[in-house]
Copies of this chain bind each other. A is one copy, B any other.
Amino acid sequence: EVFGAHDIRYFFYIGDNNSMSTAARLNAQAAEQGYELRGIGIPKTIDNDITRTDHTPGYGSAIKYVATTVREMALDNEAVGQGDYVSILEVMGRNSGWIAAGASLCKRRDKPYDPPHLIYLPEVAFSEQKFVEDVQRVLQRERYCVIVVGEGLVDADGNYVSMSSSSIDAFGNVQLGGSGDYLKELVQKNLNVSARSCKLGIAQRTATHCASQTDADEAYLAGQNAVIAAVVNGKSGKMVTLQRGESDTYVCETGLAELSEVSEGTKRIPAEWINDDGVSMNYPFVKYALPLIQGEIDVAFENGLPAYAKLRQLSVEKRLGVYAL
């Protein structure tokens, strides 16, 4: 109805899984009502969990920032650590571990013992006992231990083992906020060594000062091809996809998938990209992810800080009255 009042005929919806399914529903509704609309979805999420596309714009920049941060934190830990020291970084990713896995890119080639020493993914069932053994093993070898964990930690039964907000459980125990604090508690309780946890939060989805040029180029490409698809080729009900070329050298092209077929489900990391130890990634993952972080955006700094453009927010005049959903 709003579209009709403003004679809106092209609709580009940029976003995550939920946005894609909203776009699909909107398109279906327009078709039902005989309203001519060309609706195209454009994937964009640092979570990298949308199906039908090789990867999503946003992911490359997020893991470039996270891997950079882990490399820097690890240098600090290695330098400061005169005794056992455990450092935990909590990153985003509740249902899939793509971002946590991306931290593995800061290991140097053929240096499997480089930090991050342990990566915990929702794709791998979490066991407290194995966790404690993992940390002990690393501390014995390195004297310090860098851990990366996503927001979601799931046990063998598929239940979250850490709570999203603080509360007291049925046994009267304090439940800490996130998975990072949860692991920190486990370390302190079981190993009697000092541990710190950090949580990058939304900084990891906004760190343009550390963005990937490849990612930025592909985001532009995706938007450009959405407009071409709708305006030039008259397509509708599609989502733009990023497709990786077959050659050994990384090439990225765009394609189109049916919006209705882009599942609301989550694309997870293939099991065969995770090493048997359950806490590190193997070469196929590195081969997949490394091209996505190549190149540095040339951010303009002004007076010591990145200067970002501010859009003026111009509103069109409303043509409909108040409505209730």
Contacts and interface: CB of A to CB of B under 8 A. Distances in A.
A181 interface: yes
Nearest to A207: B72
Nearest to A306: B68
Contacts of A71: 305-306, 308
**How many copies are assembled?**
2
A199 B202 contact: no
Interface stretch (A18-26, A122-130, A241-249, A287-295): A287-295
A177 B176 contact: yes
A89 B295 CA distance: 29
B167 A174 contact: yes
Interface string A206-238: 111110100000000000000000000000000
A294 B75 CA distance: 24
Contacts of A199: 197-199, 201
A290 B306 contact: no
Interface in A172-201: 174, 176-177, 181, 185, 196-201
Nearest to A293: B304
A200 B203 contact: yes
A293 B308 contact: no
A97 to B, nearest CB: 19
A295 B294 CA distance: 24
A213 to B, nearest CB: 9
A76 B200 contact: no
- The winner among A77, A89, A166 for most chain B CB atoms within 10 A is A166
A106 B304 CA distance: 9
A105 interface: yes
Nearest to A296: B301
Given A71-B305, A72-B203, A200-B200, 18 more contacts: A64-B305, A67-B305, A68-B209, A68-B305, A69-B207, A72-B206, A72-B209, A75-B206, A75-B308, A76-B206, A87-B202, A105-B305, A167-B174, A176-B176, A198-B199, A199-B201, A209-B210, A296-B301
22 contacts: A68-B306, A69-B207, A71-B308, A72-B203, A72-B208, A72-B306, A72-B308, A75-B308, A76-B205, A89-B203, A105-B304, A105-B305, A106-B305, A166-B176, A166-B185, A168-B174, A177-B177, A198-B201, A200-B203, A290-B303, A294-B303, A294-B304
